Amino acid sequence: MKRKTASYYVGAIREGDRNALSRAISIVESKVTQDEKLANDILSQLSMKDMSAVRLGITGAPGVGKSTFIEAFGREVIDAGHRLAILAVDPSSPESGGSILGDKTRMLSLTVHPDVYIRPSASLSYAGGVNPSTYKSILLCEAAGFDYIIIETVGVGQSEFVVRNMVDYFLLLAQPAAGDELQGIKKGVMEMANGIAVNKCDGELIHAAELTKRQLIEALHYLPTQEEGDSPMVMVCSAIAHSGIKEVYADIEQRHLKWMKSGRLAQLRGAQREIFFRTTVQDGMKAFLLKHPKVQGQMVAYFTRLDKGEFDAFTAVASYMDWFVQQDLSSDE
């Protein structure tokens, strides 16, 4: 693809050019070195001032109804006058259990709406379809005037934890459980949720959904409490019958408003910047060190000695680290 200048992309994105937005997202997702430079130039030109957008993360086991929920929920968002961007798990990823066609039909009324932008996450190299470039895509969507951003993630690998650090409100969708155990909810995920919605509360599942809701409320008692007055709301909804969706919307709206007034939102955004900086710098340092000829050369020498059985792995680690901390890595010799 032919590239333009950073200011071109920034200007076009601000004017609402969706093509430019899509291209810019591809650039920030790209692993090509020239694109990385361009991506950085684009991102550094975005304004940090506007922080009023709602950043919502939605997680839940495959099949719980995330895509269907987003379709129903999206209508509430638009009806409230927002412009909505959806960064969805790549539906072609086998983990999402979906298909491009399936998700397109599911989000049909949204895909054609002028105030909605849907972007399937491209990278499959990270579990769950979420990766550091998702944070950059969020900022690009906000620059394009989308004031409601939904990030969908499947509960695979570390994806929920990665998304948690990019969003304001983290919504967990749960299944009506048949037995008395809370199926499919990964350890640690409930603790991160600001809200939990038991989806599929319709037809024969209404009773099971209500029961699951009570079990979740019970289970939350045993978890470390969040900030005062901020314990997660447990709700039931049906994405298909479009019931309970307004309640979920209202909870997010209320908390977001409260956080904006109390300064917590600004704090959150600061923490998000810090986490992005920290993880990116750490990754960069690691990559730099592993590529460094001195470090690499010594590493290979140790591999050989380990293969020959000259020393055990523990002695090797201690000895390598002793050597490593004494190195001057500012030159390549």
Which residues of this protein are in contact with Mg ion, per CB under 5 A?
66-67, 98
Question: Given the complex with ligand GDP, which of 64 and 190 has the nearer CB atom?
Answer: 64
184 binds ligand GDP (CB under 6 A): no
Question: Using an 8 Å Cβ cutoff, are 200 and 173 in contact?
Answer: no
Helix/strand/coil for 35: helix
238 binds ligand GDP (CB under 6 A): yes
The phi, psi pair for 236, rounded to 5°, reads -115, 150
98 binds ligand GDP (CB under 6 A): yes
* Positions in 291-330 near ligand GDP (CB under 6 A): none
What lies within 8 Å, CB to CB, of 231 at 6+ separation is 220, 225
Give least dist CB 96 to Mg ion, A.
5
Question: Given the complex with Mg ion, which of 9 and 69 has the nearer CB atom?
Answer: 69
Give least dist CB 215 to ligand GDP, A.
19
Edge-first strand listing for the sheet containing 116-120 = 116-120, 84-88, 148-154, 54-60, 169-174, 195-198, 233-236
Question: Using an 8 Å Cβ cutoff, are 64 and 96 in contact?
Answer: no
Partner from ligand GDP, Mg ion, none binding residue 239, C-beta < 5-8 Å depending on class: ligand GDP
Q: Which of 13, 29, 65, 233 binds ligand GDP (CB under 6 A)?
A: 65
Q: Which of 59, 67, 159, 212 binds ligand GDP (CB under 6 A)?
A: 67
Question: Given the complex with ligand GDP, which of 53 and 189 has the nearer CB atom?
Answer: 189
Give the separation between CA 6 and CA 24, rounded to whole angstroms: 9
Give least dist CB 68 to Mg ion, A.
8
Give least dist CB 189 to ligand GDP, A.
14
Give the separation between CA 2 and CA 233, rounded to whole angstroms: 48
Give the separation between CA 190 and CA 127, rounded to whole angstroms: 19
Question: Given the complex with ligand GDP, which of 155 and 232 has the nearer CB atom?
Answer: 155
* Positions in 189-218 near ligand GDP (CB under 6 A): 199-200, 202
Helix/strand/coil for 114: coil
